[in-house]
Amino acid sequence: MATQIPGNLKYTKEHEWALVEGDTVTVGITDFAQSALGDIVFVEVPEVGSDLKIGSTFGVVESIKSVSDLYSPVSGEVLAKNNDVEGSPEKINQDAYGSWLIKVKMNNTSETQNLLTAEQYQEFCNSSH
């Protein structure tokens, strides 16, 4: 089954997606990631007010198969976390792009230039198999 890669999002090589809106970035994990992980049973994300650094871990997602770190696509402060997904992590399997994890206010908006486009992410996923 082909994974979905919406064109309006940016991506990381660690399989996070980022919706950039001004200086705010909404972050989640991609359809490719949830598919590779299998049934997700646990998600842990930082508290509101936490400072994140680009490329650093900000939480974990655990499936019946493995535990994976989550990596921040940008530096900034956590503005919101999705308690709904923490309480019902299977929602990520049902709708990876509708189940955001955190929203971050960026320190430096130019960091988004390092993220992959949908096309680049598709090529990355294809070449990593």
For the chain, list the domains and their CATH numbers: 10-109 (2.40.50.100)
pTM summary value: 0.95
Bridge-based pairing of strands 67-71 and 51-52 is unpaired
In terms of Cβ atoms closer than 10 Å to its own Cβ (0-12, 13-18, 19+), residue 105 is middle
Mean pLDDT of 4-17: 95
- How far is residue 72's CA from residue 101's CA, in Å, rounded to a whole number? 11
| pLDDT (0 to 100) of residue 42 | 97
Q: What are the tens digits of pLDDT across the range 49-107?
A: 999 999 999 999 999 999 999 999 999 999 999 999 999 999 999 999 999 999 999 99
Q: What pLDDT score does 4 carry?
A: 83
Q: Quick check: 45 and 10 in contact, CB under 8 A?
A: no
What are the tokens at 96? Answer: 């990876």
User: Over the stretch 11-47, which tens digit does the pLDDT of each residue have?
Assistant: 999 999 999 999 999 999 999 999 999 999 999 999 9
